[in-house]
Amino acid sequence: MGLFCAVLALAALTLAPAWAPAWALEVSPANPQPSEAQLEPGLAVKYVYWDIRFLREARDVLEVKDGEVGSPLPNLSFYSEVGEPALTSHRSTLLAAEITGYMKFPQAGRYELEFASNDGLQVSLGADEIEIYEHDGRHVCGTLGAVTVEVPESGWYPIHMVYFQRHHSSCLWLSWRTPTDTAIDQEAVAPEFFGHTPR
């Protein structure tokens, strides 16, 4: 995973804005909070196999087609070479994925979330489904920079993602800086911070 972290760090330097915003997007927790007994580990995922070029096409296809329920994503720490399956699907190319569930924030405060993807990714977070990140189109594994979110209380927050992979290698990654960290962790957010309700 060292090579991937190096690629991600380089992408952050080349693609991230040179400034860090002083403001943060405030997100709201799930209400009511799901109990631990209600949740299963990881994030639920549905796949549709289609030739996608932009996120709007991915959203349209995911809305009208039944798709295939895949194995849950333990967390967001995926990188595949050419020919290897993307995420937990059985395909390496031409797919869209709808990813849903909850993300656990261990304490209140400001978090920096850094997503990386190949190809497109849209992320909404919180009970109000605030869009916090979008990197559209076809591109190599990279990030548009960290986004800052304000978490009013600890607990589970709904997360919804639309992702697509067209050709060649693929990736989907999330690292964070918690309120007690001094920098964004180079490791992916651990599986213990993700859960979903069974379909």
Enumerate residue ranges in the chain where pLDDT < 50: 1-21
* Domain containing residue 138: 2-17+24-196
pLDDT at 22: 55
CATH of the domain at 56: 2.60.120.1560
pTM higher than 0.75 for the full model?
yes
Q: Which of 30, 62, 27 is nearest to 197 (CA)?
A: 30
Give the C-alpha separation, 58 to 55, whole Å.
5
pLDDT of the residue at 17: 39
Phi then psi for 155, rounded to 5 degrees?
A: 135, -165
